Structure 1
């Protein structure tokens, strides 16, 4: 073999080795890729099976929880238990005229849905208390329908509710209240819910606070009784206003809910008395005001009146306030003149002349009347004779 033939043979061998190596490496790489794909497929299948297994375990855990918070699979026992539970909760929270009716339930998978209608009357506060108790009893129940209609001229509501609750197959015992009761709901305790929901009347415009209309300054005499009448008006016509003392009043100060303030000061000086006017709406609105009382030396006793003595018999001593009523929306005071067997029906602004007394009705309150006689204001209470009306002070102090 010549040199040239040997070189050519070597080149051919190198080419064959190169092609064979490339083919071998290609086959080897393909085998590795195929194995990697198999490993990836098996890993994915393993993860899917682990996920399915985890879901099954979670479902089993949920089912255990559901059974702890569900009614028994016995339909009759569950219906009887839950109906009695509803009635107890409604009565304990103040509902009246309670009617509970079971409806036809329905089967779905491994559970049975019981349904009830509830009708009754309650205030909004009582309904909030019931709702809080309802959801604190943490079982598989809910409101499916709720209707509330205000009762005319009352704080009550006509309330109608539809309620549904679940029984689960495999549940044998009714849930015990202590085992499933929540310590509080998502937004706090009962007071937190009452404070937020009752901030306004849902069936009327927002409540407006009353406004004081009486004077803010008054003069009193040392060691002599002061009687002063507080007054306030409320933008909401039907609201009744009551009055209360604020913090740290001077010793001995008394204030009735109708606004009659009484005090006998024992030292000279200026005293601030905080008073509050509060309306009757739920929730109530109030306004506070400071009353400045200036205590001064008492005025000299007036000289004896030289005018002729009044006759001993005075009809005013035997004329009594027998009642205060509203006639056609207008307040009226009924005065009974016993000597004449005469009934006087007087409203604000009306004048009267009884015996030796002549005067005018200033205001008609609940169970008392403000009258003006000879420039002085007096309070006449039910059952009190006209001649003994309690002085309040000069006209203009109201």
Structure 2
């Protein structure tokens, strides 16, 4: 058979697709054969002794060749990455693959033995999920571009799962009650009052029966103002403050009695 191309039209394919690197090719050809030629020609048997490499390698390089765009470059990605994770907490990692070719996007997939509960977002490569068991976990992330022919790179990921850190001790608050004491018991026109002086703010609380007292973490209602003491009720339990006694000391004693 003899073939002859009668017309060839090449135009940008941007009007039909969003891929700006593609061209639309329209080709018409004529075929001529001798009368004795068979309609189905036997396949030529190649002489493999003349090949410097396997036939499939030649076929891939010819069929997979893009004649209308620059050669496709593979994405750029670090070959290895160590990721620290905390047992039971969500993993925070996404490979930072870059494609040197414009208008190409990258898709991701996992290869190898993946820890239970871990998945990957194929669009961003972000790992999702948590790991319950301590230890080191190794698998690969493959980044593939959208060029023709597509190119891929692989990153070996090692996730090191550690125990959660020990929480810091709670911040110690300033004990206002330890800086307050009953300084006086006064009887006047307003009735009996217990005077509690707070050295923290330099003020004196003048408390009568029924008044609420709050000094830092110590709070309660004044039940009685006596001649040498004052009775306070906290959570249904009464405790006594003596004259010149520190409020926090009286409260602690009242919890034990």
Q: TM-score, normalised by structure 1?
A: 0.34
Give the structure with the larger helix fraction. 1
Q: TM-score, normalised by structure 2?
A: 0.50
